[in-house]
Structure 1
Amino acid sequence: MDMALDGAIRIFRERGFHATSLGELGAAMNLTAGSIYKAFADKRAVFLAALERYMEIRQASLQRSINAAGSGRDKVLAVLHFYAESAHGVEGERGCLVVGSATDLATFDSEVAGRITAALQRTEKLLADLIRSGHKDGSIPSTVEVASTARLLLSVTQGFRIVGKAGRTRAQMMAAADQAMRLLH
């Protein structure tokens, strides 16, 4: 099932929910339409399962990056670099399922909107916690306001994913992440 959902994630990231046909979804998942309907009620149910898996995979990967960093400042940089790494090359062009869903579905689907809002709130809270950690360990000046800076960094990370769809190099995205760190002075 995970392999099938990984295929669904890829096609939904590339094409969006509305532009993905059942045939394309079946090909991406390596399943027939009948098998899809046996496992899921409809295309929306496949999408919701794919979205959950995508968020779980990304969150686990992000947490590994954070855990490898030392100070609060280094952890914030790890978050920015994590998003910058996702915003270039093939990965960048595929885009982010969360950002794509926010623009494609959230207006019309309250359940998707709730999931997207919760995901963004988790990331904003994570950034706020890392800034506070930097305050405590002295790596981020106490004059850096937590809530508004976390919200700004959230906007930067999600913006990376949008800009990455248009094709950027790794160097460009890493330079942008490093520049964003100046907010923490």
Structure 2
Amino acid sequence: MPRPRQFDEERVLSAVRAAFWDKGYAGTSLEDLMSASGLGKGSLYGAFGDKQSLFLRVLREYDEANDRMLRAWLEKADRGVDVVREFVLGSFRDPSGEHARRGCLLANTAMELSASTAEVAAEARRSYAATSAVLAEAVKRAQREGDIAARLDPDLTARAVLAGQLGLVVLGRIGQDPAVLSTMAEALLAGLIPAN
């Protein structure tokens, strides 16, 4: 009979996620994972599988948490347009630029691994489709509320907002000045979601 786990699984997954987020998949060694988690190789892989299985679990949980957060924003927001604006601008409000430089775990991973790892490409497609669907709902709501031009196609607009935001994430990752990113984000929003 297997022994019960002697560690906090959520804490371990959070620590491992941070290690992967900071160094990327290829740059994160087994030693990095053991150091971050406080577990030995046998305990780590016994609980979560090999490095790729562990990474895919961390990535999927990250994506699901982001999806829940975006849906909660839409449910609680005073206006639909606020959700779209927060989605684009939120990462660039940290004046230190640290949040922007760290980027998004999914975007970083998609750039690193999508061409070589089918599971990552599939997860990125799934997650970005879910994000686009929530953004499209926010656009539809904003159109009903008179904050975004009714002539715009909500699905196309949502995908364009996502594409623009991902471009800003990449620029943040390479160290673009946070003030410049914020200005670019505002210009992006003005072009993609004009008012009536």
Instruction: Return the TM-score normalized by structure 2.
Output: 0.83
Q: Percent identity?
A: 28
Gaps of at least 5 residues in structure 1 are none
CA distance in 2, matches of 1:87, 1:57: 25
Which of 93, 112, 119 is residue 120 of structure 2 equivalent to?
112
Contact 2:93/2:182, CA 8 A, preserved across alignment: yes
Contact 2:172/2:178, CA 8 A, preserved across alignment: no
2:83 corresponding residue in structure 1: 75
1:52 corresponding residue in structure 2: 60
1:164 corresponding residue in structure 2: 172
Cα offset for 1:110?
1.6
- Going from structure 1 to structure 2, the CA distance change for 1:88 and 1:184 (only over 3 Å counts) comes to farther
Cα offset for 1:88?
6.4
1:184 corresponding residue in structure 2: 193
SS at match of 1:132: helix
Residue 89 of structure 2 corresponds to residue 89 of structure 1: no
1:37 corresponding residue in structure 2: 45
CA distance in 2, matches of 1:163, 1:178: 15
1:7 corresponding residue in structure 2: 15
CA distance in 1, matches of 2:105, 2:95: 13
Which of structures 1 and 2 has the bigger CA Rg? 2
Q: Which has the higher contact order (CA 8 A, sep 6+)?
A: 1
CA distance in 2, matches of 1:58, 1:131: 18
CA distance in 1, matches of 2:47, 2:56: 13
Contact 1:106/1:112, CA 8 A, preserved across alignment: yes
Gaps of at least 5 residues in structure 2 are 1-8
Instruction: Return the TM-score normalized by structure 1.
Output: 0.88
After the TM superposition, list the runs of 4 or more consecutive aligned residues in structure 1 that deviate by more than 6 angstroms. none
- Going from structure 1 to structure 2, the CA distance change for 1:88 and 1:157 (only over 3 Å counts) comes to farther
Contact 1:66/1:78, CA 8 A, preserved across alignment: no
Count matched residues: 185
